[in-house]
Structure 1
Amino acid sequence: MSIEINSIVIGGNLTRDVVVKDIGSGRSVATFTVASNRTYIMNGEKKQEVAFIDVDVWGPMGQNCAKYLHKGSPVVVVGRIKQDTWQAQDGSKRSKLKVLASNVQFLSSGSSGPQGPSSPETDVDPTDFSWEE
């Protein structure tokens, strides 16, 4: 029996502004990196580790991310993991994991400035869109 589960939820802050790439035929992909922190206690001392996770967001949701998110914005991303592979100039094989988002929640940063829509106040229903690559 084969198990095919590929789902991830991450929360954190954007490390840079969203970049949108037009890939032709009216399609676009938005990319950004989320810094997700984990705090823990080891030997009575508070420690922190950070994971930097690349995220791709396709279509209208990606356009909304570019419109409302910026470096430092807090988000929760739901999606699946994808592995990119390529051959480096020295001939070695390289790979990296990234998240293909199916939902991006815009969270309030606690500042008084506009943050754009966040759940549940969003004007955009994620079920209105197809999240294909």
Structure 2
Amino acid sequence: MKSLNSLIIEGNMVREPVLKTTANGTALCTFAIASNRNYKKDNEFVQETSYFDVETWASLAKLCEQNGAKGRGVRVVGRIKQDRWVGTDGKNYSKVKVVAEHVEFKPVFKNSGDRAEAREEVLIEEKVMTF
């Protein structure tokens, strides 16, 4: 059986994206998102929040740094990657993160009465979605 490693997460960025360049010149942007799950338990609605570290590469990394901001809504399509290493203390460690292959930014309406600004932001969103 072939393996499948694919996911879609929607949420909000919890901090500003950070853009770095690797030793070979490739752009790498990292950010984290919070995603809420709502469900009913004992006749009460409960909200469960999960946090995900995300990394993007190359031209997608540059677009995420330019368009991302703390609080901005995003949809991330990608895969899960597990990094493993041995610490200086000799113990084994691991961390799971999302490697994004596609990122969509939700529109930001700076002034709900100003349709021109809202339209301009939506156009930016459409441009980002086409990479």
TM-score range, shorter chain: 0.7 to 0.9
Aligned to 1:131: none
Unaligned 5+ residue runs, structure 1?
127-133
Verify the 8 A CA contact 2:102 2:129 in the aligned structure 1.
no
Cα shift readout 1:60-109 (whole Å, capped 9, x = no counterpart) = 11111111111111000000110011123332211111111110001124
| TM-score normalised per structure 1 | 0.84
- The total of aligned residue pairs comes to 123
TM-score by length of 2: 0.85
Aligned position for 1:47: 46
Given the superposition, is the C-alpha separation of residues 26 and 90 from structure 1 closer, same or farther in structure 2, using an over 3 Å criterion? closer
The amino acid across from 1:122 in the alignment is: K
Q: 1:35 to 1:104 in 2, by over 3 A?
A: same
Residue 7 of structure 2 corresponds to: 8
Unaligned runs of 5+ in 2: 112-116
CA distance in 2, matches of 1:4, 1:64: 30
* Match status 1:125 vs 2:130: yes
Q: Please tell me whether the aligned partners of residues 37 and 51 of structure 1 are also in contact (alpha carbons under 8 angstroms).
A: yes
Alignment of 1:1-133 (within 5 A): 2-112=1-111, 115=121, 117-118=124-125, 121-122=126-127, 125-126=130-131
Q: What is the identity percentage for the equivalent residue pairs of Structure 1 and Structure 2?
A: 37
